[in-house]
Amino acid sequence: GAVVSQHPSRVICKSGTSVKIECRSLDFQATTMFWYRQFPKQSLMLMATSNEGSKATYEQGVEKDKFLINHASLTLSTLTVTSAHPEDSSFYICSARDQRRDNTEAFFGQGTRLTVV
């Protein structure tokens, strides 16, 4: 089955610094990837849709200048949390779909647990 790799799985950073999270589709091309955030004991909330070669589409309430998304190739999307603060501590998870196989399952990365201290 298709695999999506997300890195790092866990990161601790100081308040005010930036953190980059990578999401790679390993054996398929993904023109579109999705980024989600999950706070403790809550569900996954869609943050943004990452489009290869164009700007990301952000959900309402998500600051595009704070959560920078770059989708420079068909297999890699990155999410950079800029000037991180403790309230940004969360579980971030990416998802990608195999564009050749519509109406099939979405594949998820392993997630990144971000702790801002």
Partner 1 sequence: SQQGEEDPQALSIQEGENATMNCSYKTSINNLQWYRQNSGRGLVHLILIRSNEREKHSGRLRVTLDTSKKSSSLLITASRAADTASYFCATSQAGTALIFGKGTTLSVSS
The residue ranges that bind partner 1 (CB under 8 A) are: 32, 34, 36, 42-46, 49, 59-60, 91, 93, 95, 97, 102-111, 113
Nearer to partner 1 (CB atom), residue 63 or residue 83: 63
Residue 71 CB, shortest distance to partner 1, in Å, is 14
- β-pair partners for 68: 80
Rounded Cα gap, residues 66 and 89, in angstroms: 13
**At its nearest, how many Å lie between partner 1 and the CB of residue 83?**
26
Q: Which is nearer to partner 1, 78 or 112 (CB)?
A: 112
The nearer residue to partner 1, 65 or 102, going by C-beta atoms, is: 102
> Given the complex with partner 1, which of 32 and 80 has the nearer CB atom?
32
For residue 97, give every residue at least 6 positions away whose Cβ sits within 8 Å of its Cβ, in sequence order, or none: 30, 32, 104, 106, 107
Name the token pair of 100.
Answer: 């050749």
Say if strands 10-13 and 67-73 run parallel, antiparallel, or are unpaired: unpaired
* Nearest distance from C-beta of residue 42 to partner 1, angstroms: 8
Interstrand relation of 4-7 and 57-58 (parallel, antiparallel or unpaired): unpaired
